[in-house]
């Protein structure tokens, strides 16, 4: 086991890695479209703010459409790569963070334009803005994902367990509107996390276990195993 902040993780079997690589490859094109669209939208939007022109506005709108479309497609394709359960309102909080970053970006851009800052400084602003967005997105995933399954293993909050160290997965109701998900490692204490039922789709969970878990590892409830 390891914590996602660092530490040792036993190497997963090669078949799992190959499977994950094939699935990830399918989503790369959509992800590239999202990143490229977002980058172009930032640059074009900056130009619209500094020196408006119909061409810059059109490019901004097209790039935004490409970024949004790519993001939706990426999210759809990533369902074949991983299964996640988030904290409540994770999507709303993530959108608020992104909106705040964009507002800050364009506010700083307007300030640089008003003082006629050199072009190199504007390029630095764009690069820093893109890097900050990527970092905040990664940090958001670490903080707001409660449970995750993929071809490599199981993640319970900030702890990752490779499949070869997992004996079974568990799901049990623990109160009104709450379900406890868990992983039982080999020769280690069980790991559990409580999630809200509104964030958990039992059908998708069962499908993810069937897709990612090695043969012999089952999802068990309070009464009967779920295949």
Query: Which pLDDT tens digit goes with each residue over 192-218?
Result: 999 999 999 999 999 899 888 888 898
pTM greater than 0.85: no
- Please give the Cα distance from 58 to 192 (Å, whole number): 50
User: Strand runs (DSSP E) across the chain, as ranges?
Assistant: 2-3, 82-86, 145-150, 153-156, 159-162, 166-175, 178-185, 191-196, 219-220, 225-226
The residue extents of the domains of the chain are 2-145, 150-226
Query: Which pLDDT tens digit goes with each residue over 86-127?
Result: 999 888 888 888 888 888 887 887 787 777 777 777 778 878
The fold adopted by the segment(s) 150-226 is: PH-domain like (2.30.29)
């Amino acid at each position: 086991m390891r914590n996602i902040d660092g530490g040792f993780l036993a190497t997963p079997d090669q078949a799992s890695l190959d499977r994950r690589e094939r699935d990830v490859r399918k989503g790369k094109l959509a992800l590239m479209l999202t990143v490229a669209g977002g980058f172009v939208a930032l640059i074009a939007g900056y130009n619209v703010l500094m020196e408006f022109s119909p061409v810059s506005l059109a490019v901004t709108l097209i790039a935004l459409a490409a970024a949004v479309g790519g993001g939706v497609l990426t999210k759809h394709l990533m369902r074949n790569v991983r299964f996640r359960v988030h904290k409540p309102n994770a999507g709303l909080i993530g959108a608020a963070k992104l909106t705040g970053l964009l507002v800050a970006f364009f506010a700083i851009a307007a300030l640089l334009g008003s003082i006629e800052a050199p072009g190199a400084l504007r390029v630095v602003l764009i690069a820093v803005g893109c890097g900050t967005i990527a970092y905040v997105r990664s940090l958001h995933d670490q903080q707001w994902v409660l449970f995750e399954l993929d071809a490599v293993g199981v993640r319970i909050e900030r702890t990752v367990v490779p499949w070869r160290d997992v004996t079974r997965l568990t799901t049990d109701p623990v109160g009104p509107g709450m379900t406890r998900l868990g992983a039982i490692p080999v020769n280690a204490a069980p790991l559990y996390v409580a999630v809200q039922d509104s964030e958990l789709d039992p059908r998708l969970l069962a499908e993810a276990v069937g897709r990612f878990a090695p043969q012999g590892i089952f999802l068990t409830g309070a009464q009967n195993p779920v295949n």
